[in-house]
Amino acid sequence: MSKKILIIAGDPHSINSEIIFKVWKKIPYKLKKNIIVIGNFNLLRTQFKKLKYNIQLQKIKDVNKKYNTNELKIIDVNLNFKNPFKIQKDELKKYIKQSLSVAHNILNHNKNIAGLINCPISKNLLGNNGLGVTEYLAAKCRIKKNSEVMLIRNSKIAVTPVTTHIRLKDVVKKLKKEIIITKIKTINQQFKKIFLKKPKIAILGLNPHNAELKKSSEEIKLIIPAINKIKRLKIDISGPFSPDTIFIKDFIKYDVIVGMYHDQVLTPFKTLYKFDAINLTLGLNYLRVSPDHGVARNLIGQNKADPISLIECIKFINKFG
């Protein structure tokens, strides 16, 4: 029996319902039978009806039972919203955290799950300190601090930011030699485990032109010492490369490009590949991925949302089923 794939419906104020519907219509029978969505049953039914989507839903409790494949199976996160078309922020926070907790508990107690996909979630629903799903699930899994890694990947390249969902002015304060080393060790270990390949890693500097490698620069004080220690661990790493030129052509020589902050690697990656990518969290107790796009509230109800990233997530997780 193939392992199941859990999909958290995510933020209701988003394109998620449209994406889920489009994916359900596109994926083949062999994938449909393994899909289980975690979300509020009544809310999803209401949104599909509002969008005039013809899709049959089935409320389930046991992920191990066999069900009618023609119906989208839902594990109900049972909350009563005052107004399903205008959900209050406190309701949303409770709903998102409960959805993540339900998925986390299932994954920790059931070996018949290949992995978890969460549809996009607004960061402010998980706290006011920039906490994202990556960090939230890492805390749930009680893994060693800074051992989790956000990896954005497609068939051509992967990128990772050392610091994730923090303000740019806080990056230097957060950046530590030990954090860089821990992140690279996780990438090396998990890449070999998941993709069966020792990764060739390129690491970027923090400053324009690597601050010309001046003694007072973060490159000299933090990044190069971290690289030297990583090399002693027999990890294949090169750098630091200048952030403004690596994505011209040299990036294709490597499996993973590691940047110091979120937009340093995500902006060029999305410029090159748009949303042809998946977001993996490395270092958790289970496999977790998400589509590489946001909630896109500006596209709600316009039938313009592209389901490619969620489809790629499903295909990827299914390989481990």
- For residue range 217-261, what is the model confidence (pLDDT) as tens digits? 999 999 999 999 999 999 999 999 999 999 999 999 999 999 999
CA distances from 284 to 36, 104, 202 (A): 20, 10, 23
| Range in 40-44, 134-138, 148-152 with the lowest mean pLDDT | 134-138
Please report where in the chains the tokens 């954090």 appear, as a residue. Answer: 179
- Decide: 179 and 148 in contact? Cβ < 8 Å: no
Set out the domains of the chain in order of their start, with CATH numbers: 1-143+284-321 (3.40.718.10), 144-283 (3.40.718.10)
- For 25-68, write each residue's pLDDT tens digit: 999 988 898 999 999 999 999 999 988 899 999 999 989 888 76
| CA angle (94 as vertex; 88, 95 as ends), nearest 5 | 85
Query: Would you list the DSSP string of 46-106?
Result: HHHHHTT----EEEES-TTS---TTSEEEEE-----S-TTS--HHHHHHHHHHHHHHHHHH
3 alpha carbon, distance to own chain's centre: 20
CA separation for the pair 241, 259 (Å, rounded):
10
Q: What is the mean pLDDT of residues 119-141?
A: 79
- Decide: 138 and 148 in contact? Cβ < 8 Å: yes
Banded pLDDT at 81 (limits 50, 70, 90): confident
pLDDT at 129: 61
pLDDT at 128: 57
pLDDT at 251: 95
CA separation for the pair 86, 49 (Å, rounded):
16
Q: What is the mean pLDDT of residues 157-164?
A: 94
CA separation for the pair 24, 72 (Å, rounded):
8
For residue 294, what are the contacts with CB-CB under 8 A and spacing of at least 6?
A: 14, 120, 122
What 3-state DSSP class applies to 25?
A: helix
Return the structure tokens found at 119.
């549809």
Strand pairing partners for 241? 204
- pTM value is 0.87
Q: Does the bond joining 199 to the residue before it have cis omega, within 30 degrees of 0?
A: no
Banded pLDDT at 194 (limits 50, 70, 90): very high
- Tell me the CA end-to-end span of the chain in Å, nearest whole number: 9
Banded pLDDT at 293 (limits 50, 70, 90): confident
CA separation for the pair 26, 265 (Å, rounded):
31
| Burial group, residue 119, by CB count within 10 angstroms (0-12, 13-18, 19+) | buried
Q: Among residues of the chain, what percentage have pLDDT more than 70?
A: 97
pLDDT at 38: 97
Return the structure tokens found at 319.
């390989």
- Decide: 308 and 295 in contact? Cβ < 8 Å: no
Given a cut of 80, is residue 86 above it in pLDDT?
A: no
